[in-house]
Amino acid sequence: MAVARCVTCGAPGRKAGAYVMACSPQGYPASGVICGVSGCEEPAVLWLSAWEAAEYRSGRRIFGLSGKLPKVQLKEQSENDRLIRPHSDHGAADGSLGLTSGPGTPTCAARCSGDGLVLA
């Protein structure tokens, strides 16, 4: 799995495996991917193993991150942003999920996006 490190902390040590290629995440340095070194909060590039580097050269662009606690930076909320909450958080007073039935499949009474998330 890829390892996130800032340019100051550099490539991961050999204990973590042989990482042979560094790639910038989409939007770098404002991508939100943060260095995985404890105490560091700088934007990170991703170090890929030899196998992942071959996959990258073949066109793959999505990789998992290794490490105990991958870090990401969240954007500041503005008054124009809508909060997202799990579907189960907006159940009806009777304990149901607030679904109404109609033609076809049940529909969420709270106008859920259908993917289990609700824009508040």
Q: Over its length of 120 residues, how does the chain's per-residue pLDDT go in tens digits?
A: 899 999 999 988 766 568 899 999 999 999 999 999 999 999 999 999 999 999 999 999 999 888 766 788 877 777 666 665 555 555 555 545 554 444 544 445 555 555 555 555
Same domain, 64 and 95: no
Same domain, 51 and 90: no
Same domain, 56 and 89: no
Same domain, 62 and 99: no
Is residue 25, in this structure, part of any structural domain at all? yes
Same domain, 103 and 53: no
Is residue 79, in this structure, part of any structural domain at all? no
Select from 8, 48, 40, 54 the least CA-distant residue to 24. 48
* pLDDT at position 8: 94
Question: Helix, strand or coil for residue 23?
Answer: strand
Q: What is the DSSP-derived secondary structure letter of residue 48?
A: E
Per the structure block, which two tokens stand in for 86?
């799990």
**Is 0.85 topped by the overall pTM?**
no
* pLDDT at position 113: 53
Backbone torsion region of residue 14, taken as left when φ is above 0, otherwise alpha when ψ lies between -120 and 50, otherwise beta: alpha
Question: Helix, strand or coil for residue 16?
Answer: helix
> Domain total for the chain?
2
For 102, the domain range is 84-119
Same domain, 19 and 68: yes
Q: Which residues pair with 4 in a beta bridge?
A: 46
Same domain, 24 and 63: yes
